[in-house]
Amino acid sequence: MNEIIYASATQLARAIREGEVSSEEVVSAYLGRIEEVNPKVNALVQVTADAARER
C-alpha cells in the first residue's frame, strides 16, 4: 500500500519541498487509490485524471 495516501497535507508539502517525493507521484498515488476504491463506494461522479496530471 502506498504511504503517500496516508500522509497529511503538511507532511506531503514538506516531502515535496524537500524532494522526497514529487507532486506527480502524489497525484498518481491518489488517482490510483480513486481507481481502486471508487467503484465500491461511488463517491466521485467524474474523475479528470488527465487534467490533474497536466497541472
Question: Tens digits of per-residue pLDDT, 2-34?
Answer: 899 999 999 999 999 999 999 999 999 999 999
How many whole angstroms separate alpha carbon 52 and alpha carbon 24? 9
Q: Which residue has the higher pLDDT, 55 or 36?
A: 36
**pLDDT confidence of residue 10:** 98
Encode pLDDT of 27-50 as tens digits: 999 999 999 999 999 898 999 999
- Check if the beta carbon of residue 17 is closer than 8 Å to that of residue 8: no
Q: Which three cell numbers stand for residue 47?
A: 474523475
Round to whole Å and give the CA distance between 49 and 53: 6
Angle between helix axes 9-17 and 23-41 (nearest 10 degrees) is 150
- Beta strands (DSSP E) in 1-55 are none
Whole-prediction pTM value? 0.84
